[in-house]
Structure 1
Amino acid sequence: MKFNITKYRIGLMLLLLTFTISSCKKYLDEKDNSNFVKTNYFQTASQAQTFVNGLYNQLHLFQNGDAYGEAPFITLELFAGHATSLGQSVNNSNVIHQRTDAVNPGFEDVWQNSYNAIANANLALERIPGVAMDDAAKKKFLGEVYFLRAFFYYHLVRLYGDVPLITKSVTIDSPDLYPTRTDYKQVYAQIISDLQAAETSGLPATDQTGRVSLGAVSTLLASVYLTTAGYPMQATANYALAAAEAQKVLTNYSLFDNYAYLHDNAHKNQGELVFQAQYLVGVSTNAITQLTVPFNLPVGAYGDHLGAMIPTNEFFASYEAGDLRTQERQFYFSSYPQYGDASKTVVFGEHCLYKFFHVESALGNGICDENWTFLRLPEAMLIYAEASNEVNGPTADAYAQVNKIRARALLPALSGLSKDQFRQAIWKERYHELAYEDKAYFDIQRTHMIYDVIHNNFGDALTTANEQGVTMKAQYLLWPIPQREMNTNKKLTQNTGW
């Protein structure tokens, strides 16, 4: 069985010349007029818009998946160690137990699809400036593209380390046809440059259609600065920059008063949701809920219930007593009315992710168009608190941001903590609030610490076993360069240990 997403098999040096239509809410239903020849395209503003729209669709690569649950958004969580997966997936099991290798198809999918998106972003940045169109609209389109190129490079550099940095379109005669790896510091410099360009491009402060906004730019840039302040770069001066960028976001968004709004259709791109991948029934759908409901239990109108990402009991138990997020049908659920006979209740025997449960498709026809959230307000709030704490220690403003998140969860406010205590309190809030949103593995990379949920503290990532008895190997701080890329491009070298 295969899901709806087509897996591209295109090397990083090739240019994709056929686009699918955009995935943003107001233009998801546009007719696809985007097949083109490079030499005669980019003649009109409409063509430029269609091309940029197509770039958004490539954000779907993180939800690419098959019947075994080997989707990148799941793989990232399995690396963090706080989730189990359906046993029939050999690759997922190998990731959990740290015995995978460079042939794992997930590593190749993320690499290829990210470079595919970057290739198209490079072409857009080269060709859109020459299109005769309104200057403000042109500048805005370019700002969106700069953000998207930075977004994909940000994932690549964190996952693979030194990666080829390509900022121009590639042809068969280009020197970058078979590129070498670029020092990660140069890649980060390009990411920051792209995001700074996006900040000055006239984007709106917020956007409820799914397009890039200044809020998305500032949140992503704050994340970049926070990451580069940690390992491996340890540019600690960037903590202050992270706090300054995150602060720009805090007053333009608001926390939902209902956790259900994080995953329903009515609140897409609103409230605290800063940037999402867009889905729409009839145009582009996904299997997010189908992959995260309990295995083989009838809790929705899905052909399969795959159980590919299930929180460990120990992680669920690590929340503080009384935390609203652990109450039934908040972030998690352990039972649900049986599909087709609501008078019966299906008891799971484990806690699954209600955070990703799409009621509309579960009670409807099983076709899911839930958006996937990349950035939301609580992340910006916690970046601000953590980064400002590193600069000034606990401040009233830093406490305020963390305590707003805790107040919504019905938890008491934090106070009176030392700098070190406050740091760890913020880290715990990141794990609990941003749970299973693909943040934990990146937190391990930048802090070299893991959340030991059994003892409710943080330990060295390479010496502390997780709740599944696995201690992270040093090589697992990065993904391997995909073996197919190594075979194709002899200039590439492999990451240590792979």
Structure 2
Amino acid sequence: MKKNLVYIAVIALGTQLLGACKRELNVNRQGRITLDSYYKTPGDAYNALVSIYDRFGFQTGGLYDKLSIFDVGSDDQMAGGGSPTDINDLQMMQLYTYSAQSGPESYLWSRSYSGIYRANVLLEQIDGCKLDANTKARYIAETRAMRGAFYFDLVNFFKNVPLLTGTLPVDSLYDVVQADPAAVWAYAENDLLAAIPNLPTTLTNVKSEGGRLTQGSAKAMLGKMYLYEKKWDQAAQMLADVNGTMSGTTFSSKYGYKLLANYGDLWLSKNKFNSEAVVEFVHSAISNGGWGDAGASDGNLICITTGPRGYSQKNGTAPDYFSGYSFLVFTKDFAQKVMYGDPRYNTTIANLDSLKSAGAATYTAGNNNTGYFLGKYIGRVSDKAAATPELNFGQDEYEIRLADTYLMEAEALMNSGQSVAPASRAYNLFNAVRARVGLGAIALTQDALEKERRLEFAGEGLRWPDLVRWGKAGTVLASKGFVTGRHEIFPIPQGELNNTKLLQSKEWGGTK
């Protein structure tokens, strides 16, 4: 049997599960560790599990992640930045000029496959780590849940991808071929289904375990997967278990999930692991990440990229924004015609021109400047870290939150032919999201649901995937360069095609 090598990157050490700052380290040959000499202790297994979580919420050293990619690809936001080439992957996503040779697709591909590799290694080696039965079962469940989520992203974003169910000998890597997309969907579903029984119902110690997956997390991810596959009945059933039982117009979840009373509280840096967080990417203000490898920081890089350039408070009435790089700006149409007047406006949008006109603050206009910034994630001076503060903001990021599972279940119920009449479950789920921000109940229709999702999740990276799965991206995004029958998926990165048996998708001029 060939010896595989595990780099130190697989051993992500930290004082708490998701607080590790080491993502990928350059090591010499003496720094390598063979599989045969590792995976011997419970600590080895734990560190390997941390390394998978590390990829789950990974932000590239190019200062972006999934949220940023899909924000700028939507009709509501633009790349911004300092110039039309600043973080060029995002600029290309905004204009749909990316290709197999360059663009954000390499990040999406490598994030998932590096996570899958780490998952496969742990699953193959965990028997040697001397874990008690319950701990072992939980580690396997967490690993399989994340592997399922990685495959969901891959098949959803690329369609034609390899299905790697275990580690491969080095001499087989160039012989890998792509699987039938249906097989990848099924494999991802099965991973999540297998994981659910052995995940904890809730976390017993949020301080030390916050961000780890639970049964509710896995069911929400699986329910979302079913929704994207248009398996409406299965999606509704799975999401109903997350959302809980209905009593009048309210819902009680056995997992403890509950909508926060104040919408704005969702984006307070100190409000980690709140009752609305279902799947949460954890960030740390103490990771000490630096510019030698910005992607190695566990800080939330969105906090610095979305901050207005050259920001300065002129008086105490202005927010204490940390001056940033002016990315992910909202369009004037969205801010003035779609979002204006909605109760979520002031939390979602930071109107810098209004502050400037009032003499409360100044800032420097950047590329695509509209004056409307993503207020949900702008870093605050009061939250800054001591070391390299721009890279170490501790605000967490939501992959799935309860308002999302409410609206996804309502959508699934509506599409499965269930009642949407007043007092129905679908109607009450939909209007619970509106009621939380003080909006009155309205009829649940597809148009109403689409508008509600647009307003509720503005700036959270969901608008683009929603438009694609609804089949509306070609119309809504045509002015930005989106081409129907092409941009619904990303091209296979050219680096993955070179000297391999992988084939480019037909949508991108290939034969697959």
* Alignment correspondent of 1:39: 36
* Alignment correspondent of 1:358: 379
Question: Structure 1 residue 316: deviation in Å?
Answer: 2.6
* Alignment correspondent of 1:5: none
Residues 77, 330 of structure 2: 8 Å contact kept: yes
* Alignment correspondent of 2:420: 394
3-state DSSP of counterpart to 2:327: coil
Q: Output the CA distance in 1 between the equivalents of 2:156 and 2:22.
A: 36
Equivalent residue runs for 1:253-292 within 5 Å: 253-283=257-287, 284-292=298-306
- Give the counterpart of 2:399 among 374, 378, 382: 374
Question: Structure 1 residue 305: deviation in Å?
Answer: 2.0
Equivalent residue runs for 1:205-354 within 5 Å: 205=202, 208=206, 209-229=210-230, 238-250=231-243, 251=253, 252-283=256-287, 284-298=298-312, 302=322, 305-319=324-338, 322-326=341-345, 328=346, 330-335=347-352, 344-346=360-362, 350-354=371-375
AA matched with 1:432: L
Equivalent residue runs for 1:50-449 within 5 Å: 50-61=47-58, 63-66=59-62, 71-86=65-80, 87-89=84-86, 90-174=88-172, 176-205=173-202, 208=206, 209-229=210-230, 238-250=231-243, 251=253, 252-283=256-287, 284-298=298-312, 302=322, 305-319=324-338, 322-326=341-345, 328=346, 330-335=347-352, 344-346=360-362, 350-359=371-380, 365-366=389-390, 367-391=392-416, 392-395=418-421, 396-415=424-443, 422-449=445-472
Residues 307, 379 of structure 2: 8 Å contact kept: no
1:18-72 deviations in whole A, cap 9, x for unaligned? Answer: 335367966626999x9742112222222111111221111243x3243xx6544
Question: Structure 1 residue 487: deviation in Å?
Answer: 1.6
Question: Structure 1 residue 407: deviation in Å?
Answer: 1.0
3-state DSSP of counterpart to 2:350: strand
Residues 148, 192 of structure 2: 8 Å contact kept: yes
Q: TM-score, normalised by structure 1?
A: 0.82
Residues 140, 195 of structure 2: 8 Å contact kept: yes
AA matched with 2:430: V
Residues 98, 473 of structure 1: 8 Å contact kept: no
Question: Structure 1 residue 301: deviation in Å?
Answer: 7.2
1:180-229 deviations in whole A, cap 9, x for unaligned? Answer: 11111100000000000111114233573110111110110000000011
- Larger mean CA deviation between 291-300 and 100-109 belongs to 291-300
Residues 298, 305 of structure 1: 8 Å contact kept: no
3-state DSSP of counterpart to 1:356: coil
Question: Structure 1 residue 370: deviation in Å?
Answer: 1.6
Evaluate the alpha carbon distance shift between residue 110 and residue 325 of structure 1 in structure 2; reply closer, same or farther with a 3 A threshold: same
Evaluate the alpha carbon distance shift between residue 214 and residue 206 of structure 1 in structure 2; reply closer, same or farther with a 3 A threshold: farther
* Alignment correspondent of 1:454: none
CA-based RMSD of the aligned residues comes to 3.1
Q: TM-score, normalised by structure 2?
A: 0.80
* Alignment correspondent of 2:249: none
Question: Structure 1 residue 475: deviation in Å?
Answer: 0.8
1:361-416 deviations in whole A, cap 9, x for unaligned? Answer: 6666443122121111011101110001112141511111111110122211013x
Question: Structure 1 residue 14: deviation in Å?
Answer: 8.5
* Alignment correspondent of 2:28: none
1:431-488 deviations in whole A, cap 9, x for unaligned? Answer: 2112222222222222212xxxxxxxxxxx334456x564544210000101111124
Q: Output the CA distance in 1 between the equivalents of 2:21 and 2:155.
A: 33
- Larger mean CA deviation between 132-141 and 258-267 belongs to 258-267
- Larger mean CA deviation between 395-404 and 73-82 belongs to 73-82
Residues 337, 345 of structure 1: 8 Å contact kept: no
How many positions carry a matched residue from both structures?
452
* Alignment correspondent of 1:21: 12
Evaluate the alpha carbon distance shift between residue 172 and residue 389 of structure 1 in structure 2; reply closer, same or farther with a 3 A threshold: same
3-state DSSP of counterpart to 2:398: strand
Q: Percent identity?
A: 23
Unaligned runs of 5+ in 2: 24-30, 244-252, 288-297, 314-319
AA matched with 1:96: Q
Residues 259, 331 of structure 1: 8 Å contact kept: no
